[in-house]
Chains A and B, each alone.
Chain A
């Protein structure tokens, strides 16, 4: 290798940066990306425009119309498309407003755990040695605990509220990112182009951010998407127990808890939030799976 070869950038721009036209085409070919992304987009729009879309205020109690069936069933009315709950609140409006909390928690918690987990993964995987051992031990320690139990304990210490739930999810789920990404970083840092970057005098920080990080971005997107689904389930779980948010904020988990009282007489009140959670989580999982397959040629070759 000559001196001029060493001074050229380690790899052509298009190869090094993960989002090229070819990968975008691969993404577009994945039906899962479209379906999952479509579901998430619709729910995001509903959440953002909730005050304009929802027919009623989610907290407005109409005690003359308690447990009204949905509009297509006998006794239902167009005023309450999905009926009302035991306090005469519009189920559809509550479901739409519930999407706000669900998506807030999903996006912020996934972002937080991605940042924390990936940073530690990069540091551990890149530097190896003692740093790596310490971080890996921490991950093992964290994972020797059932995640739900850990988040419950954290919530006892932190107190309740949407921001506390987000913090609890971040503090529990960063390990998901850290474990998987660290394994990839371990492989990538041995690649020639990383060595080349060091040889032409890149600092550790610059090598990490410019050479190693882009290679794990596809994996991070996949994990982010799946983590959004996990966060939605955790939030629903916690607000179902009654630990997540005060009653004046509407969440799907809270709707489930309220609906349990009227389960015998009004199943639709419960089915609506159940379906909301399932569909949203499905959207996250499909999108994540699609991205993973589209950006990983090994999986494509296996015909997944």
Chain B
């Protein structure tokens, strides 16, 4: 088992190197097509052309693009992603603070999405078997038409304005400082035993995570439903029925287990959807994650920061792919004997 897992991880990592290189190059070239001068914001209004040239030289923007890329790459390999132009802080430092926040949000969102979509998918399947699928179809189609960022606005209207029960700005309440251990607020606050602050963090996480979950759930529901429909025609279902197992048991213990494989694949492929959704959700909820940082970087033409965030997103996506591959191997007995 361990051997298979390490083989998968190794193969994925080897494949990841050219991918990361190429993607960084694409992003680098695209960003250098910029129609406006990213340095304009750094200079005071009284700056002369000579000042601008000096700054360009200092930041390395005067060199040809291939050379700039190699310099960036060499530094990146050594763990230096440069400094943000607007925040005047090293990009790596900004990332270290933002990545755990985004992961906390997306993973909670994924968890909530599963809590919604596993029963939802089963229900959609049961309705389909009983020929009552029209209503279920319409609800799924409707849910699929509401992206996470609209859910965010609707949830804020519902639970922040009309029935103000939940906070909808920031990661914790005002005046609460976060301990810096793992960067995951929910973990850190439990570790230091500050339960009141923990509850505050949970309540702040609830609406953004729910918005993310509601945007993602219909995708899972659809895959789960159609995998269950496929599973219903498999011989093992008939065998289980002949053995006298109840329909409920067949559905939940046998068919669902088999339907989980395509679902996991889909979640892996669509994880970018979660990250993309988190971008806007973080911005709307003022949640200090990578997405929020990205929006600010894009608005301010902060090239080093954008480049760094692009790299982080690629790395995160690759890690997700590895995890999905490993999970798949663990869950699918057919892949265990390679």
**Smallest distance from the beta carbon of B267 to chain A beta carbons, Å?**
14
A4 to B316, CA, bound (A): 60
User: Once the chains bind, are B280 and A149 in contact (CB under 8 Å)?
Assistant: no
B145 on the A face (CB < 8 A): yes
Across-interface contacts of A256 in B (CB, < 8 A): 153
User: Once the chains bind, are B279 and A148 in contact (CB under 8 Å)?
Assistant: yes
A225 to B272, CA, bound (A): 22
User: Once the chains bind, are A156 and B141 in contact (CB under 8 Å)?
Assistant: no
A156 to B306, CA, bound (A): 9
A285 to B218, CA, bound (A): 12
Nearest to A293 among chain B residues (CB) is: B137
Interface readout for B122-150 with A: 1 if CB under 8 Å, 0 if not? 00000010010110010001101111011
User: Once the chains bind, are B301 and A289 in contact (CB under 8 Å)?
Assistant: no
Identify B153's interface contact among A152, A155, A270, CB under 8 A.
A270
**Smallest distance from the beta carbon of B312 to chain A beta carbons, Å?**
10
User: Once the chains bind, are A157 and B34 in contact (CB under 8 Å)?
Assistant: yes
Identify B280's interface contact among A147, A237, A304, CB under 8 A.
A237
B294 on the A face (CB < 8 A): yes
Given contacts A141-B19, A146-B272, A159-B35, contact A241 B141 (CB under 8 A): no
B191 on the A face (CB < 8 A): no
Instruction: In the complex, identify which listed stretch (A14-22, A103-111, A273-281) lies at the interface while the others stay far away.
Output: A273-281
Instruction: In the complex, identify which listed stretch (B25-33, B53-61, B79-87) lies at the interface while the others stay far away.
Output: B25-33
A144 to B313, CA, bound (A): 9
Across-interface contacts of B161 in A (CB, < 8 A): 263-264, 267
> Which residues of B in the span 72-130 have a Cβ within 8 Å of any Cβ on A?
128
A256 to B141, CA, bound (A): 23
A245 on the B face (CB < 8 A): no
Given contacts A146-B313, A263-B161, contact A157 B153 (CB under 8 A): no
User: Once the chains bind, are B272 and A145 in contact (CB under 8 Å)?
Assistant: yes
A123 on the B face (CB < 8 A): no
B240 on the A face (CB < 8 A): no
Given contacts A159-B35, A240-B149, A267-B161, contact A152 B294 (CB under 8 A): yes
B23 on the A face (CB < 8 A): yes
* Known pairs A145-B272, A236-B149, A274-B154 / 17 extra A-B pairs, C-beta < 8 Å: A144-B23, A144-B321, A145-B23, A146-B276, A146-B313, A148-B276, A156-B31, A237-B280, A241-B299, A263-B156, A267-B162, A278-B142, A278-B146, A281-B145, A281-B146, A302-B229, A303-B131
Q: Which A residues contact B (CB, under 8 angstroms)? A: 31-32, 140-141, 143-149, 152-159, 229, 233, 236-237, 240-243, 256, 260, 263-264, 267, 270-271, 274, 277-279, 281-282, 284-286, 289, 302-304
* 17 pairs, CB–CB < 8 Å, chain A vs chain B: A144-B272, A146-B272, A149-B309, A152-B298, A153-B30, A156-B34, A156-B298, A156-B301, A157-B33, A157-B34, A158-B33, A241-B295, A267-B157, A270-B153, A271-B157, A281-B146, A303-B133
